[in-house]
Structure 1
Amino acid sequence: MSFMETVGRLQVDDPAPLYMQLQKVLRDAIVGRVISPEAAIPPERDLAEEFGVSRLTVRKAVDGLVTEGLITRRRGAGTFVAARVEKSFSKLSSFSEDMISRGRVPHSEWLARSVGAVTPEESLSLGLSPGSQVYRFQRLRYADGQTMALEYSTIPAYCLPSLEAVAESLYAALDAAGNRPVRALQRLRAVAFTTEQADILGVRTGDAGLFIERRGFLQDGRAAEFTQSYYRGDAYDVVAELNRA
């Protein structure tokens, strides 16, 4: 069965522009799970031939779906249906735990790790005195081989035995040291990726992202974590459960 037969044909009597028609056909197939998450979308040339439209029409339709976050482009690999991850703000969990709970395979690529004196911003966020030692970790986070987020974490030195104590999971290392956060304050906002961030994540400059800042605390009130994460907007959703008081 051809791709067009799977997702449906364009309607001859539809007055809408061709790119919008093709966009609707693809959108309906994605939302209706006719095409599975992570499934490959045929190349522009193949789509143009199957649907009898120009490659420019195909490109315009696909660009719109990329903007909506339904389709993602991967450099050197092609175009795929986006596999979105939902993040609940009702539970204090790590990135690795979030991915595993959703049946995804987490992986991290180290960009940098260092030890040094706390900066003024870190001092304010963590409530540390000037000159206090902290560990800094910069990682690129993956789920099933797909880039998900850039993560920058600062941890007070009293929370970990050494810089090398963190392997795949920061929270696992904090837990092993008896210093896993028991509560956290988080804030989020929409951002547009800079050229540097986009190059690392494999997206385009200016693409939409989600910035999440977390400050974690120990049972005794001391700060244990200051993390700033930049998530891909086409692969990550935030979900909050609200209850009437």
Structure 2
Amino acid sequence: MTNQHGSLFARLESILADESRTPLYKRFAAAIKDAVREGVLIHEQILPGEREFSQSLGISRITVRKAMDELEKEGMVIRSRGYGTQICSQFEYSLKEPKGLSQQVVLRGKKPDTVWINKSKIRCNAEIAEKLGLSGGSEVWQLKRIRYVDQQAVSVEESWVSTQLIADADDIGISLYDYFRDRQIHPVKSQSRVSARMPDEALQLQIALPVNVPVLVIKQLALDAQGNPLEYSISYCRSDMYVFIAE
């Protein structure tokens, strides 16, 4: 047993010993997610097998298997016959519902962060005006940032939002959509277009992209329940770290 696995088993024993109405397999799965978020487990690390978990923790293999099924569905682990269960190094991002990257990251047991490059008011061009349903030359917020998952830079995002929806961009923290939700603005659907291209030198430096790894370019329009445009964004995402889910 490695030192990291020893720490993991100690954590699991403590959590599983607590009295709770939450099913055992769900507490097991939650403990694994917490361990990834806190760095006890790292990306691409191989987990102990079902038998080792079962014998060391005194729980059934069915409980372990159900927990791993749940973690696999959430994109936290990858399982393969003859190789074992591995902490997933890729991040699954749903294009179906505009929850925002930060919320999707948290729901998968990971830690989001943002480094803002720019928050400024500009006069929008014809393309942005059309996307947001504004007149040409209307004033909008231009927001640009580097986005992180578990301290790893994964994308550069530029977005545009009407000044009617944001009073002061300095009030936006890590998540624009948290800012929206706090003000009862609710993105409920999105229109997305995905393409790929090789990054320029500046983008490679911003997200520490290995040579010859392309970026996925995600152009996305977020809308409210009435179909009103809320945000238009263009994201340049590391293709080696993202898996996009459309269904």
| TM-score bucket (shorter structure) | 0.5 to 0.7
* Residue of structure 2 equivalent to 1:218: 224
Paired position in structure 1 for 2:139: 133
Provide runs of 4+ in structure 1 moved above 2 Å: 35-39, 88-92, 177-180, 218-222
**Which whole-Å CA distance do the structure 1 matches of 2:95 and 2:221 have between them?**
13
Counterpart amino acid of 1:164? D
**Any conservation in 2 of the 1:194–1:206 contact (CA below 8 Å)?**
no
1:156 pairs with 2:162: yes
Identity of aligned residues (%): 26
* 1:63 aligned residue: none
Question: 1:1-51, CA deviations, whole angstroms, 9 ceiling, x for partnerless residues?
Answer: 9xxxxxxxxxxxxxxxxxxxxxxxxxxxxxxxxx96255xxxxxxxxxxxx
Give the corresponding residue for 2:79.
Answer: none
Superposition pairs of residues 65-144 of structure 1, within 5 angstroms: 83-144=89-150
Shift of 1:206: 4.0
* Structure 1: 5+ residue stretches without partners: 2-34, 40-80
* Distance in 2, Cα, partners of 1:158 & 1:119: 17
CA deviation map 1:93-115 (0-9, x unaligned):
10001110111000001111101
CA displacement at 1:92 relative to structure 2: 2.4
TM-score normalised by length of structure 2:
0.62
SS of structure 2 residue aligned to 1:92: coil
Partners of 1:161 and 1:177 within 8 A in 2: no
Q: Which has the larger radius of gyration?
A: 1
| Contact preservation (8 Å) 2:190, 2:222 | yes
Cα separation, partners in 2 of 1:196 and 1:177, compared to 1, 3 Å: same
SS in 2 for 1:159: coil
Please state if 1:237 is matched with 2:240.
Answer: no
RMSD: 2.3
Structure 2: runs of 5+ lacking an equivalent: 2-40, 46-86
From 180, 191, 195, the equivalent of 2:197 is 191
Deviations 1:132-191 (A, max 9, x none): 211111110001111111010100111122222211110011122222322211111122
Alignment of 1:194-213 (within 5 A): 194-213=200-219
Asked if 1 retains the 8 angstrom alpha-carbon contact of 2:116 and 2:145, the reply is yes
Q: Which amino acid aligns with 2:105?
A: M
Query: Which residue pairs with 1:56 in the alignment?
Result: none
Q: What is the one-letter code of the residue matched to 2:232?
A: F
1:208 is aligned with what amino acid? P
Paired with 1:217 and 1:240, the residues of 2 have a C-alpha distance of 16
- What is the TM-score normalised by the length of structure 1? 0.63
